[in-house]
Amino acid sequence: MDAVQGLATDASMTPSAARAGYPDLLKRGVVVAALIVIGLFAPTVIRNTYYLGLMGDAVVLGIAAVSIGFLAHQCGLMMFGAAAFTGGATYLYAIALTRFGWNVMAAAAFTLLASTLLSALIGALIVRARPLPFAMLTLALAQMLRSVVMITDFRPVTGGDDGLALSFAGAFFGLPQAQLSRPDGFWPVAWLALCGVMLLAWAVGRSRAGRVLRAIRANEERMRFSGFNTYAPRVLAFSLAGFIAAVSGLLTGLHTAFASPELLDFTTGGNALVSTLVGGVGMVSGPVLGALLFVIAQDQFGANGNLELLTGLGVVLVIVAFPEGAMGFIRNSVARFGGRGAQAQRGGDHAAR
Amino acid sequence: MLRVDDLTVAYGSLRALDGVSLEVARRGALHGIIGPNGAGKSTLMDAITGRRKPTHGRIFFDGQDVTRHSVERRRRLGMSRSFQRTSIFPGIRVGEQLELVASQLGEKDLAGIVDTLDLGRVYDELADVIAYGDQRRVDIALALVGQPSLMLLDEPAAGLSTAETTTLFEHLAAVARERNVTALVVEHDVEAVFRFCDTITALDLGRLLANGAPDEVRRDPRVIAAYLGSAA
């Protein structure tokens, strides 16, 4: 009842902020800032180029997974066709560079802006759908885009089956193409992008907009009967998910300098989807952990020649054993050993992510 | 405050509501809506709140024609509702959901609502783990946030014991009086309706049977024949 009485004096204060407290938030901020800085120096620790390359792949996949996890957690919508937004962004970047002749910074800005606007447009059409039709619509979109880029008439723009090889003369935030193609040169860009999108997803989840989205997910009709527009917030969430996926696609273009139809294939989006499920959607870090586990597992399973069989088995085992994902398991374990009720922890974290 | 003119809601050839007209003028009162299953009570609620579009007729709220208004717009004008099946936000703490809706509708006295409906002890609980009776009161609290002038409550006592029903109606009567809000209550517990409501509308097969003070409605031969039977 103390919380109730507190309302009279500070109605604007969020419940999670009230519980966590600003000093605690500041402490967390310092830890996060330190982790971001430490992460930048990963290449000095992981000197093996191959493993650093794997880490870079995990980061790019992790960003796509954050996009899927954000939408799943905030809106209860699972994106089966994330490849449409990651691969689509890679193509937009490649087209802006090779066909429009723009410099790399302009091409990157165009990629993010156009992808976000397209996501808003697509979101406006599909966010009203129920979860399963929604998932299938995004999948259909990716498959449709894959077909479009391979249409012979569009070959001068998209490169058709051959895809688009690209190159740029200038520098992306001071990094020339040759450096971005190397794992150690690409790492700082990928790492900062990952940290940026995670912070963005976390901040939105913690904001009033995040609480509105989760309430819409919990009971859309009640939200409408509480005076909320339930459509616009979901379109905005979808646009943000599209933006995050576009960051992943842009990074792919910057690092590999190639856009191919395979980027729009279901398996590409499927990898991000599996990463999301393995890591769990309850926290922003879940999909990133899932992507890291996925990339490491792919590397190990591929080495003994049973990649698909072992991947399938691994995914089934993880999902059955950890219904809330690997990060959910870690969170619940920490809560249990920390003496806090798992139930209370679940409720609190859902609010704050 | 609320005027319904010749309201018809049809599903194909079936008329769930057939030319119903009624007026609720008094503020701070309870207005009961009774009738057997299939009488059109919930359809009437749905049409008034915008959940279902009427086939014919008009709805006026505080002198304004709201027939074409969206659910959200009607809510912001001061028309709220609760549902036959408890409609709360599962997985979200009671206090958090009340605060969210309060911030949207500019409610200044959330603490008063919580106090009136005795929700203080479940304020920090997840809404889906509290007792059913508490969930019903959370549902009503959500409808009460934003100082609505009209609340439509669809079977608020469904699933409650006789004692809980009496307590709930006492709460409702107090809320209506103290907050000067009119409550339109669909309820199958006839005794509670006749005991606590100031005026009553009786429906049957989508048509209006009677409208007036409890004693008048209780004595109406058509209401007795269609619904009350020996209970009258």
Q: ipTM, 2 decimals?
A: 0.85
- Judge whether B67 lies within some domain: yes
- Judge whether B55 lies within some domain: yes
- Judge whether A308 lies within some domain: no
Q: Which A residues, 323 through 352, put their C-beta within 8 Å of a C-beta on chain B?
A: 343, 347, 350-351
- Judge whether A94 lies within some domain: yes
B211 — phi, psi (to 5°)?
Answer: -155, 125
A221 interaction partners in chain B (CB closer than 8 Å): 51, 83, 87
Cα distance between residue B70 and residue B66, in whole Å: 8
CATH code assigned at B54: 3.40.50.300
B127 — phi, psi (to 5°)?
Answer: -65, -25
CB A129 within 8 A of CB A80: no
Structure tokens at B99: 């605060």
- Judge whether B179 lies within some domain: yes
A211 interaction partners in chain B (CB closer than 8 Å): 96, 100
Which pLDDT score, from 0 to 100, does residue B100 have?
A: 95
Give the chain A residue nearest B79 (alpha carbons).
Answer: A225
> HSE-up of A263 (CA within 13 Å, CB side)?
34
What is the span of the domain harbouring residue B10? 2-78+148-228
- Judge whether B221 lies within some domain: yes
Number of domains in chain B: 1
Cα distance between residue B124 and residue B99, in whole Å: 12
A226 interaction partners in chain B (CB closer than 8 Å): 75, 101, 104-105, 142, 145-146
Which pLDDT score, from 0 to 100, does residue A10 have?
A: 34
Closest CA to B9 of B61, B58, B56, B70: B56
Cα distance between residue B189 and residue A311, in whole Å: 59
Q: Which bin fits A208, alpha (ψ -120 to 50), beta or left (φ > 0)?
A: alpha
Q: Which bin fits A110, alpha (ψ -120 to 50), beta or left (φ > 0)?
A: alpha
What is the span of the domain harbouring residue A26? 2-14+22-295
Cα distance between residue B181 and residue B167, in whole Å: 18
CB A154 within 8 A of CB A165: no
Give pLDDT < 50 ranges for chain A.
1-18, 341-353
- Judge whether A344 lies within some domain: no
Which pLDDT score, from 0 to 100, does residue B230 have?
A: 59
- Judge whether B20 lies within some domain: yes
**Which residues, 6 or more positions from B11, have their beta carbon under 8 angstroms from its beta carbon?**
none
pTM of the complete model = 0.85
Give the chain A residue nearest B122 (alpha carbons).
Answer: A1
- Judge whether A335 lies within some domain: no
Which pLDDT score, from 0 to 100, does residue A339 have?
A: 61
- Judge whether B28 lies within some domain: yes
- Judge whether B222 lies within some domain: yes
Which pLDDT score, from 0 to 100, does residue A11 have?
A: 34
Q: What is the number of other CB atoms lying within 10 angstroms of the CB of residue A133?
A: 12
CB A90 within 8 A of CB A253: yes
- Judge whether A322 lies within some domain: no
Cα distance between residue A117 and residue A82, in whole Å: 16
Whole-angstrom CA distances from B112 to A27, B87, B195 are 35, 21, 26
Cα distance between residue B121 and residue B123, in whole Å: 6
B104 interaction partners in chain A (CB closer than 8 Å): 226-228
Which pLDDT score, from 0 to 100, does residue A353 have?
A: 47
B151 touches chain A (CB under 8 A): no
Structure tokens at A79: 């994106």
- Judge whether B106 lies within some domain: no
- Judge whether A190 lies within some domain: yes
CATH code assigned at A163: 1.10.3470
CB A111 within 8 A of CB A246: yes
Number of domains in chain A: 1
Average pLDDT of adjacent 10-residue blocks, chain B of 232 residues: 93 90 87 91 93 94 93 93 87 94 92 90 94 89 92 86 87 86 90 92 92 91 82 54
- Among A3, A218, A222, the residue with its CB nearest the CB of B91 is A218
- Judge whether A152 lies within some domain: yes
Name the 3-class secondary structure at B122. Answer: helix
